[in-house]
Amino acid sequence: MRNIKLTIEYDGTHFHGWQIQDLKQRTVQGEIKKSLKKVFKKDITLYGSGRTDSGVHAIHQVANFKIESYLDHTEILRAINASLPEDISILKAEEANENFHAQFDAKNKTYCYSILNRPARSAMHRDYSYYFPVKLNLKAMRQEAKALVGKKDFKSFRATPPANTKEKNTIRTIKSVTIKKRGDFVLVEIMANGFLHKMVRNIVGTLIAIGAGHKRSGHIREILRAKNRSFAGKTAHPKGLCLVKVNY
């Protein structure tokens, strides 16, 4: 039995997230499973590194599946992509250790949130960034973001998880938070050993409020101590969020 590791890119605009929850809803996992069934003529279990919500994108999602097949990696890559919709692409198919698991073996993940920070909205980037016309104070955002780094209880930044999610432990370790200015865009990049439901978007919504001058210095420390979602800022729109790296 071979264990095949996939590196996947997708535009999440028209998906109800990564994971299959309702067969009537279009999901990334569901579309890839359909393609695998066409290629291998059987239902195949596909494990992803983690969920992404509706509207969230990925340039480096990872998944794996097990199969008995004589097709080489190039043939598997071409065959899967041939029957996938245009908003999903398998970038790489490779042989993995028989015990490799895309979710359980992941050491950390990096998400990047794109904020278009200028007076005029964009026609070209409307599906891949959040438009915020008020100039953001990046110095204040970076200063407050320091309080997020380390092993902490991020309960205040967790949205109510889906009913089928057993997410009781709210302790996570954020390795780094980087806030960069690139042209008209402010990019918030967060690396952690794992993320709670909508955690990145809740953090970004809070940082935007700080950058806009709506929250005072020390606000994030207060939020963390409160362990209460109502203390954090609004949830940022999903279209600005992208999974950019999964490390093993």
Residues in the chain: 248
Query: What is the greatest pairwise CA distance in the chain?
Result: 61
Q: What's residue 166's pLDDT?
A: 64
Q: Mean pLDDT, consecutive 10-residue segments, the chain of 248 residues?
A: 97 96 91 97 96 97 96 95 97 97 97 98 97 97 97 94 71 98 98 96 97 89 95 96 98
Residues 6+ apart with CB under 8 A from 41: none
Under 8 Å between Cβ of 83 and 39: yes
Q: What's residue 32's pLDDT?
A: 98
pTM of the model: 0.94
Tokens of 116: 């278009």
- Residues noted as catalytic: 53
* Whole-number Å distance between alpha carbons of 9 and 85: 12
Q: How far is CA 197 from CA 50, 91, 229, in A?
A: 11, 26, 12
The DSSP H or E segment spanning 35 is helix 28-40
* Whole-number Å distance between alpha carbons of 234 and 36: 38
- Strand, coil or helix: 79: helix
Under 8 Å between Cβ of 89 and 73: no
- Strand, coil or helix: 155: helix
| Domains assigned to the chain | 2-96 (3.30.70.580), 108-247 (3.30.70.660)
Residues 6+ apart with CB under 8 A from 187: 112, 113, 114, 115, 178, 179, 180, 181
* Whole-number Å distance between alpha carbons of 47 and 192: 20
